[in-house]
Amino acid sequence: MKIVHCCLSCFYIDGYGYQENELVRQNVADGHDVTVIASTETFGDDRKLTYLEPGEYIGTDGAKVCRLDYVKIPKFLARKLRINPGLMRLLELEKPDVILFHGLCGWELLTVSKYKKLNPEVKLFADSHEDKHNSATSFISKNILHLGYYKPIIQRSLKHIDKVFCLSSEVKDFCSSMYQIPDEKMEMYHLGGHVLSDMEYDELRTRTRRKHAISDSDILFVQSGKFDYKKKLVESLTAFKKTSNASFKYFVIGAIPDEVEADVMSLIKSDVRIEFLGWKSTEELQNYLSAADVYVQPGSQSATMQNSVCARCAVILDDVKSHRFLLGDAGWLVREQCDLENVFNLIANDPNLVKLQSEKSLSIARQHLDYKMLAKRLEV
């Protein structure tokens, strides 16, 4: 089967662990002929936004990657309007059976819709990552960009789109209220992860815990990300310090921006149970999630949450609708720092709770989050 992933409304970064990468890798592993059509937007070695030259190459995820330049208008405007000339020509050359257009918001949704109209046997899916937390957060963004520009494009394209995949219940709400997408047109399509076999999981877990002298009786908490104040790392560590359990360990993995560095490093240095490991690759992070007992994410959302559930972690998460929808009674949902303190104390008083929550995480992962299962939904 020929599958084309269009990453023109979002960036595509070779070798990363984002949804676009994972689905491409899984489609390739399943034996499909896969092409990624992407803009020139990517990350550099410093993990900052940069731009590549247009061209074609075999990417690190195993698929052919075609990079399209933006339309020749002022760069800021071109990158907001997301117009990439040449898409129709590429689609005609690739002749896909399935198209997944990543991100609803962009001009080229009209192009793939036109291609679908001309080739009705093709399956066209679009996914949406947009919600009230990351999109239309200012007057201009909401009323000019989203309502004035993106919404008419989406409405014109809808009749040619087979399904709109929503990454969370909050995304589904946003698509309904902002773009008036009918409920029957939308399906839940969570960000996913990789569910390892028992043997693979045990090997990774044992090796990584041994490397850091974490015993079987220790309880390892992990928090990861780019830790701006919205991630609530300071609140997590402050709450953790109030529980003096010697078997508790806490790994901080990621990048600490200047805005929180002084407070975070002060907390880390004040407690020998807390260790800052710096930035880790996708593969290394998977190792640490397998080693962890509890993943902590009380602040803004991150795809690492889904990876942690797939790695059988019990989870402490922000109490938001999408987490309640996905997890049900699995894990612990928190709103305030006192909630964090209560959860740490709860685990200290009854460590067996972690194993029970881990089993719930694994069940959810197998049912809803495994990329092998998510990728199969494109095979129609």
Alpha-carbon distance 154 to 127, whole Å?
12
**pLDDT classification of 80: cutoffs 50, 70, 90:** confident
Tell me the average pLDDT across 62-69: 96
Tell me the average pLDDT across 84-107: 97
Mean pLDDT, the chain, integer: 95
Report how far apart, in Å, the C-alpha atoms of 116 and of each of 92, 165, 179, 249 are.
11, 17, 21, 53
Token pair for residue 106? Answer: 């962009």
Token pair for residue 74? Answer: 């002022």
Question: CB within 8 A of 281, min separation 6: which ones?
Answer: none
Alpha-carbon distance 341 to 16, whole Å?
34
**pLDDT classification of 298: cutoffs 50, 70, 90:** very high
On the question of pLDDT at 45 being above 80, the answer is no
% of the chain at pLDDT higher than 70: 100
| Direct distance between the N- and C-terminal alpha carbons of the chain, in angstroms, rounded to an integer | 9
CATH topology of domain 198-369: Rossmann fold (3.40.50)
Give the pLDDT score at 282: 84
Give the pLDDT score at 47: 72
**pLDDT classification of 208: cutoffs 50, 70, 90:** very high
pLDDT digits (tens, 9 = 90+) for 13-36: 998 888 999 999 999 999 999 999
Alpha-carbon distance 259 to 252, whole Å?
17
Domain boundaries, the chain: 2-189, 198-369
Tell me the β-bridge partners of 186.
164
Alpha-carbon distance 335 to 237, whole Å?
15
Give the pLDDT score at 17: 82
Tell me the average pLDDT across 259-271: 96
Give the pLDDT score at 116: 98
Give the pLDDT score at 77: 85
Which CATH number among 3.40.50.2000, 3.40.1110.10, 3.40.605.10, 3.30.70.890 corresponds to the domain 2-189?
3.40.50.2000
On the question of pLDDT at 145 being above 80, the answer is yes
Token pair for residue 232? Answer: 């609530």
Give the pLDDT score at 52: 87
